[in-house]
Amino acid sequence: MKYFCLLLFIASSSTLYAEGMDWGLLTGRSHRLVADTDTIIRKKSVSVGVSYGSDALFFGRTGPIKYPFLTGDVIYNSKSGLFVYSSVLKVLGYAPVDEVDVGGGYFYKFSKAFSGAASYTRFIFNKNANVIKSASSNDINLKNSYDWHILKTSVVFDYLFGKSNDFFTTISNSKYFESSWSIFDDQDYLSFNPSFNMILGTQNFVQRYEVDHRYQHVLPPSIIEHIDPAAARRNRRFNMLNYSFKVPVAYNRPHYTLEASWRYSIPVNVEGTLENRRESFFNFTFYYLFY
């Protein structure tokens, strides 16, 4: 199998995902978008990337309006498995910088089939940031993956804390494959990694987001006047939050990858005034690897 990125677990999935963290150049799970077609290798390296997303998705939830965005990511990977990373997010049409993330962690591998990573991320938001993720400021993430050959199964645990506290479990089943033929020369190839994903968790962040931002958005008075106080209690329940299908297609060369992906998201057990519905998301990612 051909190599071009040292580490991924996404959040990023999420996620950014992490969609989800779909974790920038790390997780492939939500909140910021990254290539899902990477292969893990153990080398000292630096990866830099830029992504475009059609809407900000955070653990299966979106805001009341669409927030298309750009992100820039950088990650340093050591041979020992330690890594540090940072990301900058800009929602198009809003503040110059809406969010800066910094974090680090450790990648481990128990066998050829079983690997994982543990990490911590700090989210720093512009005071006027409107993305739904802004209700949280810290994330502790643990991801384990097992390759059954027929499918690869990943289970990701997240604990988010700050203005709201939430627990999430993301389960993904994916199948990676790549072309046996080249496009322009013998140094390039296409790769695919379709996946089916489920997110379970609490959603206290939804209630916190409503408290922080409801008056900045145009909501019908009938909704504001009839907000159910019991919704805050229901948000504490550990429920199924989202199902999604993701189909990424990537063009790869030894040092860089260009990927386009489509995700179809099916939110369930939606609480509060967000009124999330089924939605398609389109993401484009480019990253370059130095090693």
SS3 of 75, please? strand
d(CA 185, CA 144): 35
* Number of domains into which the chain is organized: 1
Beta bridge partners, 250, equal: 191, 259
pLDDT for 26 equals: 41
pLDDT for 34 equals: 45
Q: Does some domain include residue 242?
A: yes
Centroid of chain to Cα 178:
23
Q: Does some domain include residue 17?
A: no
Range of the domain at 270: 24-290
SS3 of 26, please? helix
Q: Does some domain include residue 169?
A: yes
Residue 86 belongs to domain with CATH number = 2.40.160.40
d(CA 168, CA 8): 19
pLDDT for 20 equals: 38
Q: Does some domain include residue 15?
A: no
Series of mean pLDDT values for 10-residue runs along the chain (291 residues): 37 38 36 44 83 93 88 94 95 88 95 95 87 85 96 97 92 95 92 97 82 55 57 77 96 94 94 79 95 79
Structure tokens at 279: 């939605």
pLDDT for 273 equals: 63
pLDDT for 225 equals: 57
d(CA 272, CA 228): 8
Q: Does some domain include residue 266?
A: yes
Q: Does some domain include residue 12?
A: no
Phi, psi (rounded to 5 degrees) for 213: -125, -5
pLDDT for 134 equals: 77
Q: Does some domain include residue 18?
A: no
* DSSP per residue, 78-143: -TTSEEEEEEEEEETTS-S--EEEEEEEEEEESSSSEEEEEEEEEEEE-TT--SGGGG--EEEEEE
d(CA 101, CA 87): 5
d(CA 51, CA 282): 11
pLDDT for 136 equals: 83
Beta-carbon neighbour count of residue 121 at 10 Å?
Answer: 27
Return the amino acid letter for 194.
P
Q: Could you tell me the sign of the dihedral formed by the alpha carbons of 147, 15, 274, 138, in that order?
A: positive
Q: Does some domain include residue 190?
A: yes
Beta bridge partners, 108, equal: 116
